[in-house]
Amino acid sequence: MGGEAVIEVRDLTMRHGTRLIQQGLDFTVARGDIFVIMGGSGCGKSTLLKHLIGLATPAAGEILVEGENFFCASPEQQKAMRRRWGITYQRGGLFSDLTLAENVAVPLQQYRRLGKRETAELISYKLALVGLHGFEDYYPGEISGGMQKRAALARAIALDPALLFFDEPSAGLDPLSSRRLDELIVQISESLGGTVVIVTHELASIFSIASNAVFLDAESRTQLDCGNPRTLLDHSPHDPVRQFLSRGGTEPGHTGVSP
Amino acid sequence: MPFRVSRDGADTLLQLQGDWTALAAPPEAAELLRASALAPSPSRRLRLMATGFHWDSGVAARLFSLARLCEAEDIPLDTTGLPEHLQKLLALASAVKNPPEPHPPAPGLLALGWNACRAFQASLVGFLAFLGELVLALGRVFSGRGQAKGRDLLYFVELGGPRALGIVALISVLVGMILAYLGAVQLRQLGAEVYVANLVALGMVREMAPLMTAVIMAGRTGAAYAAQLGTMQANEEIDAVTTLGLSPMEYLVVPRLLALVLVMPFLVIFANMVGLVGGALVAMGMDVSFTQFITQAREAVSLADVATGLVKSLLFAVLIAIAGCQAGLQSGRTSAAVGDATTRAVVHAIVYLVIADAALNILYNLLGV
């Protein structure tokens, strides 16, 4: 904790049509944090992320990202804000009709005027960073799920974002690939000096990388607790939080895989 | 008997026995409960016992219904006398007592009508909003501030143009022949077979070529647009487009729309020619020579007639692209939703086409062209 607030969520209510998803969300993400949004299936974790990145509009409450409210900003300001964000999606979100190189090129062409050679060089570098050197001309459909996630990460970091958002980065990956991806996320965010927001329910990920977290409860439709998951495991006053972090109490102590 | 009822102190004892899996019709839950009522007990407690009892999932399901019935009638049920595995399965099935919220009752006839009106209003508003956004996006693209890529445009032109020639040719030649036969029956009675050429030429150029080509393109390209964009929606690719700072309207819709607008007039000109050949083939069977037919057709059709058809085709192209792209962008994220989007794209496109065709014909009539 500590440091300046990058994302401030104030009394946020999220609805899907008339159906209430979550209400009374109130937390702060500090600069340099690796912040995990956790909770059981269907509690609205991904929906919260969609609100943070401006794809869904809050029903009530306020979200400030670096002091600005995305939903009150002009289109130019919104574009400038999005330029500083890198996002990977649950299902990858790679453009399936473009090669990996072309995928990474999309944000570069969009925001930076670079020469052909410079662009190609930058693309190779970003792909090599995520361990996909030499896969420039492959299509997303031709590589494995883990590689797709890493390619999506390469696209997300193309513009050296200050803020990285991940929606279930390790969903559908085997434990080793998922751990490697976690390590990659930590390394890249450290070298970029950025802040990371991750939606996940993988305990191993949560304990190994999170510095701060918020727990969303599906039943009461609100956030139950907020803080470092290692502390929450033993000291949260809320039963569901401790149950969740200890896998229903079946695992003695935390099972964190230290990075 | 597969079961026996007896009393044991205050309890009713239901003894299950034999191989229930071999029974043609194992006793129903209600039957079991009725039978056990024959030996009423002061405590009303029902104890299930089993000896030499064979069972499978079907039997377990029956006992599960019995447990539900007992619960409904407030009869305490004791299953400790059953085989251990069966006990566990029953306990597992009854563990989660979390009935889902009941479905809302089906709306009445009046409410259904009202909902349909609301849905129609919403779709009209949606169409107009989409149209407005599209016009703005086109404005940005044409003023050079847009994000559409030339390469995409060429790709969609190839997809919608050259590759559609085969099916357009087939349909047009058949429509030309149909028009010819239609006219021939009437005109032969007057001995005016040669005027079949007028009918075919005018019919194709003003009406059938633009409309049939548009219907083909709605089924072919419009549906493809909806499926592509719907799949992109399901894959979160549209979200990625938005958060990468691109406008889906400029980046995805504008190239598709422009490609269709570019190829449609050429497809219609092609359909006109092939349709005439189809008509000529039929006419030749009625002793009208090919040259005679073409000469007659050229006299019948003015440049204005051709132009009316081409204007129609431009409007049709816009409508097909809008129907396809709107359905795709507004698709849900499941495979079924993508299927729905494709259906909606084609149905909407055909409705738009017929309405627009009627409107244009009225307009042409007023203008005297």
**pLDDT higher than 80, residue B183:** yes
Angle, nearest 10°, between helix axes B254-284 and B303-329?
130
Task: Give the C-alpha separation, B237 to B244, whole Å.
Answer: 10
Angle value at C-alpha B8, between B6 and B9, nearest 5 degrees: 140
Chain A nearest C-alpha distance from B57 (Å): 29
User: Which of the four pLDDT bands, split at 50, 70 and 90, describes residue A259?
Assistant: very low
Task: Give the C-alpha separation, B206 to B360, whole Å.
Answer: 11
Task: Give the C-alpha separation, A231 to A226, whole Å.
Answer: 10
Task: Give the C-alpha separation, A116 to A218, whole Å.
Answer: 49
Q: If you measure CA to CA, which chain A residue comes closest to B151?
A: A98
Range A148-153 average pLDDT:
90
What domains, with CATH codes, occur in chain A? 1-84+162-174+193-259 (3.40.50.300), 94-160 (no CATH)
Nearest alpha carbon to residue A52 among B239, B330, B231 = B239
Question: In what helix (H) or strand (E) does residue B79 lie, and over which residues does it extend?
Answer: strand B77-81
User: Which of the four pLDDT bands, split at 50, 70 and 90, describes residue B282?
Assistant: very high
Instruction: Give contacts of B245 with chain A, Cβ < 8 Å.
Output: 79, 82-83, 107, 110-111
Q: In chain A, helix, strand, coil percent, each to 5?
A: 40, 25, 35
Task: Give the C-alpha separation, A139 to A102, whole Å.
Answer: 9
Chain B nearest C-alpha distance from A166 (Å): 12
pLDDT tens digits, A113-147 = 788 888 999 999 999 988 888 899 999 999 988 88
Nearest to B240 among A54, A83, A89 (CB): A89
Q: Do A85 and B243 touch (CB under 8 A)?
A: yes
Q: Do B240 and A95 touch (CB under 8 A)?
A: yes
Q: If you measure CA to CA, which chain B residue comes closest to A80?
A: B245
Range B43-62 average pLDDT:
79
What one-character-per-residue DSSP string does B313-359 give? Answer: HHHHHHHHHHHHHHHHHT--SSHHHHHHHHHHHHHHHHHHHHHHHHH
**Structure tokens of A132?**
């996909």
Instruction: Give contacts of B236 with chain A, Cβ < 8 Å.
Output: 89-93
Interface test with B, best of A95, A163, A197 (most B CBs within 10 A): A95
**pLDDT higher than 50, residue B192:** yes
pLDDT, greater one: A28 or B3 = A28
- Report chain A residues touching chain B, CB-CB < 8 A: 50, 53-55, 79, 82-83, 85, 87, 89-96, 106-107, 110-111
For position B38, what pLDDT does the model report? 64
For position B99, what pLDDT does the model report? 60
pLDDT tens digits, B88-134 = 888 877 776 656 666 777 778 888 899 899 988 988 898 999 999 99
Task: Give the C-alpha separation, B194 to B282, whole Å.
Answer: 11
Task: Give the C-alpha separation, B20 to B86, whole Å.
Answer: 13
**pLDDT higher than 90, residue B356:** yes
Q: Which amino acid does the sequence have at A83?
A: R
Q: If you measure CA to CA, which chain B residue comes closest to A152?
A: B240
Chain A nearest C-alpha distance from B19 (Å): 39
User: Which of the four pLDDT bands, split at 50, 70 and 90, describes residue A256?
Assistant: very low
Nearest alpha carbon to residue B286 among B191, B366, B149 = B191
Interface test with A, best of B151, B241, B244 (most A CBs within 10 A): B244
Range A16-25 average pLDDT:
88
Contacts of A132 (CB under 8 A, 6+ apart): A100, A147, A150, A151, A154
DSSP B113: H
Task: Give the C-alpha separation, A5 to A27, whole Å.
Answer: 10
Instruction: Give contacts of B234 with chain A, Cβ < 8 Å.
Output: 91
User: Which of the four pLDDT bands, split at 50, 70 and 90, describes residue B41?
Assistant: low
Q: Do B240 and A53 touch (CB under 8 A)?
A: no
Q: Do B235 and A91 touch (CB under 8 A)?
A: yes
Q: If you measure CA to CA, which chain B residue comes closest to A161?
A: B244
**pLDDT higher than 90, residue B230:** yes
**Could you tell me the CA-to-CA distances from A244 to A98, A150, B107, B202 in Å, in that order?**
40, 28, 41, 74
Angle value at C-alpha A46, between A44 and A47, nearest 5 degrees: 60
Task: Give the C-alpha separation, A107 to A93, whole Å.
Answer: 13
Q: What is the pLDDT of chain A when averaged over all its residues?
A: 87
Nearest to A110 among B234, B235, B246 (CB): B246
Alpha carbon A141 to its chain's center: 23
Range B45-69 average pLDDT:
81
Chain A nearest C-alpha distance from B101 (Å): 13
Contacts of A115 (CB under 8 A, 6+ apart): none
Instruction: Give contacts of B235 with chain A, Cβ < 8 Å.
Output: 91-94, 96
Instruction: Give contacts of B237 with chain A, Cβ < 8 Å.
Output: 93-96
Task: Give the C-alpha separation, B241 to B237, whole Å.
Answer: 6
- Report chain B residues touching chain A, CB-CB < 8 A: 147, 231-232, 234-237, 239-246
Contacts of B170 (CB under 8 A, 6+ apart): none
Nearest to A89 among B236, B245, B246 (CB): B236
Number of residues that this document lists for chain A: 259
Number of residues that this document lists for chain B: 369
Instruction: Give contacts of B243 with chain A, Cβ < 8 Å.
Output: 53-55, 82, 85, 87
User: Which of the four pLDDT bands, split at 50, 70 and 90, describes residue A255?
Assistant: very low
What's the predicted TM-score (pTM) here? 0.77
Q: Do A95 and B239 touch (CB under 8 A)?
A: no
For position B109, what pLDDT does the model report? 87
**H-type alpha helices, chain B:** 29-36, 57-73, 84-95, 109-142, 150-160, 165-189, 196-202, 209-217, 223-234, 237-243, 248, 254-284, 290-300, 303-329, 335-367
